[in-house]
């Protein structure tokens, strides 16, 4: 069966890792990369696995969510994490790389494998007659995006992130926040953070003075939909716009006080286990430091642990909960896998991780072996579970974070101790990985 050729589209972070994994299993790979014939607007070289912005893959500390993911990837034999370690520059607890050295080493590995044919060509349509991994990234070319849209159905392809922050439920102060549904209709499943006039005015001042992240040139033609405007854009329309929009207080009475407040921030459950809540209608492009200051000015969120910050940028991604298995196999075409940021995993490390998994699973699929699914006590398993099973209607890309992993069975005192909790979560995953994999 190993004489099957696999097509991998995109020699970015995910595609390069997927191709190297397939080569390790003995498969021949045609790895298609459209650069330098056509560029994305963000890439500047013709090299594989280019880092388009920061040169950091985030923490290496296993008690950090991204650090744990890297450890799991090392155990599973990730090529690019290994290359990153070889290309490391000093950056404290973070794994930062010399991007030129990194890409050159990845290119050398591709060449040395003897199994990967790096072809400079834009793929405009999903190849119909051969096993394929699509790893064309957040800036997938227009023609391929149009074909993916046709294959998946137009409602399943998104072109822009408009992400609201997510906080950890255990860090919300319920002396102030309360559960209620508007006009008491249905289950009281929303968490509400109430504000009086003074608190609202302070919040508004922080918001309107906060610095925003500038959109890149290639992002400027992407128009925001009126229904998902960033809060800072709404706030610029006038002091009361938010109180008539996402912070509308009407019908939300705090039963403890009987008061309908001046403004309310609502939080909606984000994952099945109920450990993560997103701020409804709070998509934002503020700098992260400002987001933290703003969120901590909301009564009830003074000490909120922010699991994901809001972002807005050009990003092509599929609706993975509708389309993919946690193995990254496409539900309606078994010899098609997706990998990288296009699946809704956000970040360099996460893109490599899903490339690794897609490569391993394509190889297992072609060998008629069981596909690899990790449990959600691991960061990689939790990430795959989240992107393939979360609410389809509100799906937005996510990076590794503690909110998505299975809850710890431990008493409340331990759960409140963040350091101890993350140590236990990390050890739980690494025990599992070390006893199940010896690659
Ligand atoms: C502007 C920008 C900045 C970012 N900054 C960061 C950051 O600082 N830190 C972070 O962790 N994450 C960042 N990300 C998010 C993400 O981690 C990176 O985009 C990452 O490179 C994604 O990996 P990937 O393999 O999915 O896609 P990519 O690395 O982009 O690889 C996709 C490859 O596919 C090629 N391609 C596209 N269409 C076709 C086609 N039709 N045929 C052939 N080839 C094609 C592209 O040229 C590209 O080489 C950023 C994203 C963007 C867009």
Q: What confidence tens digit (pLDDT) does each residue in 332-353 have? A: 999 999 999 999 999 999 999 9
Instruction: Say how many Å lie between the CA of residue 307 and the centre of ligand 1.
Output: 23
Measured distance CA(157)–CA(350) in Å, rounded: 20
Please, which pLDDT band fits residue 51 given cuts at 50, 70 and 90? very high
Whether pLDDT at 69 is above 80: yes
Q: Tell me if 18 CB under 6 Å of ligand 1.
A: no
Q: Please check whether residues 181 and 146 belong to one and the same domain.
A: no
Q: Please check whether residues 154 and 173 belong to one and the same domain.
A: no
Please, which pLDDT band fits residue 249 given cuts at 50, 70 and 90? very high
Percent of the chain with pLDDT over 70: 96
Listed in sequence order, the residues at least 6 apart from 60 whose beta carbon sits closer than 8 Å to its beta carbon are: 67, 70, 93, 94, 95
* DSSP secondary structure of 328-360: SBBSS-TTEEE-GGGGTB-SHHHHHHHHHHHHH
Instruction: Say how many Å lie between the CA of residue 144 and the centre of ligand 1.
Output: 15
Q: Please check whether residues 319 and 302 belong to one and the same domain.
A: no
Q: Please check whether residues 172 and 297 belong to one and the same domain.
A: yes
Q: What would you report as the CA-atom Rg of the chain, rounded to the nearest whole angstrom?
A: 22
| pLDDT tens digits, one per residue of 362-400 | 999 999 999 999 999 999 999 999 999 998 888 888 999
Q: Which atom of ligand 1 is nearest to the CA of 141?
A: 38
The pLDDT score that the predictor gives to residue 243 is: 96
For ligand 1, atom 19, which residue shows the shortest CA distance? 138
Q: Please check whether residues 343 and 368 belong to one and the same domain.
A: yes
The residue ranking higher by pLDDT, 162 or 431, is 431
Average pLDDT for 203-222: 77
The pLDDT score that the predictor gives to residue 154 is: 75
The residue ranking higher by pLDDT, 214 or 344, is 344
Residue finishing a domain among 290, 309, 328: 309
Q: Please check whether residues 302 and 319 belong to one and the same domain.
A: no
Listed in sequence order, the residues at least 6 apart from 2 whose beta carbon sits closer than 8 Å to its beta carbon are: 25, 26, 27, 366, 367
Measured in whole angstroms, the distance separating CA 36 from the mean position of its chain's CA atoms is: 27
Please, which pLDDT band fits residue 241 given cuts at 50, 70 and 90? very high
The residue ranking higher by pLDDT, 357 or 185, is 357
Sign of torsion, CA 125 223 36 157? Answer: negative
Q: Tell me if 138 CB under 6 Å of ligand 1.
A: yes
pLDDT, averaged across the chain:
91
The residue ranking higher by pLDDT, 5 or 184, is 5
Q: Please check whether residues 146 and 246 belong to one and the same domain.
A: no
Q: Which atom of ligand 1 is nearest to the CA of 314?
A: 53
Residue finishing a domain among 287, 309, 331: 309
Average pLDDT for 66-78: 98
What global pTM score does this model have?
0.83
Q: Tell me if 10 CB under 6 Å of ligand 1.
A: yes
Pocket test for ligand 1, best of 7, 37, 52 (most atoms within 8 A of CB): 52
Whether pLDDT at 157 is above 90: no
| Dihedrals phi, psi of 212, to nearest 5 degrees | -105, 160
Q: Tell me if 356 CB under 6 Å of ligand 1.
A: no
Q: Please check whether residues 206 and 326 belong to one and the same domain.
A: no
Which residues span the domain enclosing 128? 5-161+314-436
- Per DSSP (E only), the strands in 103-156 are 116-120, 132-134
Q: Assign residue 109 the CATH number of its domain.
A: 3.50.50.60
The pLDDT score that the predictor gives to residue 314 is: 77
Q: Assign residue 203 the CATH number of its domain.
A: 2.40.30.260
Q: Please check whether residues 170 and 296 belong to one and the same domain.
A: yes
Instruction: Say how many Å lie between the CA of residue 120 and the centre of ligand 1.
Output: 16
HEC-encoded secondary structure of 55-108: CEEEECCCCCHHHHHHHHHHHHCCHHHHHHHHCEECCCCEEEECHHHHHHHHHH
Measured distance CA(242)–CA(236) in Å, rounded: 10
Q: Which atom of ligand 1 is nearest to the CA of 14?
A: 25
The pLDDT score that the predictor gives to residue 216 is: 66
Measured distance CA(211)–CA(82) in Å, rounded: 37
Contacts 24+ apart (CB under 8 A), 304-307: 304/167, 304/168, 304/171, 304/172, 305/167, 305/168, 305/170, 305/171, 305/418, 306/165, 306/166, 306/167, 307/166, 307/167, 307/168, 307/276, 307/401, 307/402, 307/403
Whether pLDDT at 312 is above 90: no
CB 245 within 8 A of CB 281: yes
Task: Return the structure tokens found at 360.
Answer: 């391993």
Residue finishing a domain among 277, 309, 341: 309
Listed in sequence order, the residues at least 6 apart from 295 whose beta carbon sits closer than 8 Å to its beta carbon are: 165, 167, 279, 301, 304, 306
CB 354 within 8 A of CB 343: yes
Average pLDDT for 114-143: 97
Q: Please check whether residues 174 and 140 belong to one and the same domain.
A: no
Q: Which atom of ligand 1 is nearest to the CA of 40?
A: 47
Task: Return the structure tokens found at 152.
Answer: 């998946």
Listed in sequence order, the residues at least 6 apart from 149 whose beta carbon sits closer than 8 Å to its beta carbon are: 156, 157
Q: Please check whether residues 295 and 333 belong to one and the same domain.
A: no
Q: Please check whether residues 95 and 226 belong to one and the same domain.
A: no
Q: Tell me if 193 CB under 6 Å of ligand 1.
A: no
Measured distance CA(391)–CA(269) in Å, rounded: 10
Measured distance CA(349)–CA(84) in Å, rounded: 10
Q: Tell me if 9 CB under 6 Å of ligand 1.
A: yes
Q: Which atom of ligand 1 is nearest to the CA of 32?
A: 43
Instruction: Say how many Å lie between the CA of residue 275 and the centre of ligand 1.
Output: 30
Measured distance CA(109)–CA(115) in Å, rounded: 10
Measured distance CA(382)–CA(400) in Å, rounded: 8
Please, which pLDDT band fits residue 168 given cuts at 50, 70 and 90? very high
Q: Tell me if 54 CB under 6 Å of ligand 1.
A: yes
Sign of torsion, CA 378 384 388 393? Answer: positive
Instruction: Say how many Å lie between the CA of residue 89 and the centre of ligand 1.
Output: 22
Q: Tell me if 271 CB under 6 Å of ligand 1.
A: no
Average pLDDT for 51-73: 94
Whether pLDDT at 90 is above 90: no
Which of 266-275, 363-372, 406-415, 429-438 has the least mean pLDDT?
406-415
How many domains does one find in the chain? 2
Q: Tell me if 136 CB under 6 Å of ligand 1.
A: yes
Q: Which atom of ligand 1 is nearest to the CA of 16?
A: 25
| pLDDT tens digits, one per residue of 1-18 | 467 899 999 999 999 999
Q: Tell me if 137 CB under 6 Å of ligand 1.
A: yes
Tokens 């128009």 belong to residue: 223
């Amino acid at each position: 069966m190993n004489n099957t050729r696999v097509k991998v589209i995109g020699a970015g972070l995910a595609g390069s890792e997927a191709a190297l994994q397939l080569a390790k299993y003995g498969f021949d790979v045609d790895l298609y990369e459209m650069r330098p014939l056509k560029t994305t607007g963000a890439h500047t070289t013709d090299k594989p696995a280019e880092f388009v912005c920061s040169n950091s893959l985030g923490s290496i500390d296993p008690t950090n969510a991204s650090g744990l993911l890297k450890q799991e990837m090392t155990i599973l034999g990730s090529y690019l994490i290994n290359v990153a370690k070889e290309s490391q520059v000093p950056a404290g607890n973070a794994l930062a790389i010399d991007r030129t050295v990194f890409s050159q080493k990845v290119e050398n590995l591709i060449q040395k494998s003897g199994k990967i044919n790096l072809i400079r060509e834009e793929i405009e349509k999903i190849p119909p007659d051969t096993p394929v991994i699509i790893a064309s990234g957040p800036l997938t070319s227009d023609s391929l995006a149009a074909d993916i849209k046709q294959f998946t159905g137009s409602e399943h392809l998104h072109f822009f992130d408009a992400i609201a922050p997510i906080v950890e439920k255990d860090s919300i102060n319920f002396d102030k926040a309360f559960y209620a549904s508007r006009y008491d209709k249905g289950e009281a499943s929303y968490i509400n953070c109430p504000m009086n006039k003074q608190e609202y005015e302070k919040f508004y001042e922080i918001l309107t003075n906060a610095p925003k992240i500038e959109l890149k040139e290639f992002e400027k033609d992407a128009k925001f939909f009126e229904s998902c405007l960033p809060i800072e854009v709404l706030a610029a329309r006038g002091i009361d716009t938010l109180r008539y929009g996402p912070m509308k207080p009407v019908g939300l009475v705090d039963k403890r006080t009987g008061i309908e407040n001046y403004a309310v921030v609502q939080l909606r459950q984000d994952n099945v286990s109920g450990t993560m809540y997103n701020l409804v209608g709070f998509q934002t492009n503020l700098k992260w430091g400002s987001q933290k200051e703003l969120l901590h000015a909301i009564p009830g969120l003074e000490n909120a642990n922010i699991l994901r910050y809001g972002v807005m940028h050009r990003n092509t991604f599929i609706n993975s909960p509708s389309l993919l298995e946690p193995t990254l196999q496409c539900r309606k075409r078994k010899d098609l896998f997706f990998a990288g940021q296009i699946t809704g995993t956000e970040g360099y490390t996460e893109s490599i991780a899903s490339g690794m998994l897609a490569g391993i699973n394509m190889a297992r699929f072609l060998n008629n072996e069981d596909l690899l699914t990790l449990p959600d006590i691991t960061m990689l398993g939790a990430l795959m579970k989240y992107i393939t099973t979360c609410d389809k209607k509100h799906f937005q890309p996510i990076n590794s974070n503690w909110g998505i992993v299975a809850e710890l069975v431990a008493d409340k005192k331990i759960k409140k101790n963040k350091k101890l909790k993350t140590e236990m979560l990390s050890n739980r995953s690494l025990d599992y990985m070390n006893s199940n994999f010896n690659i």
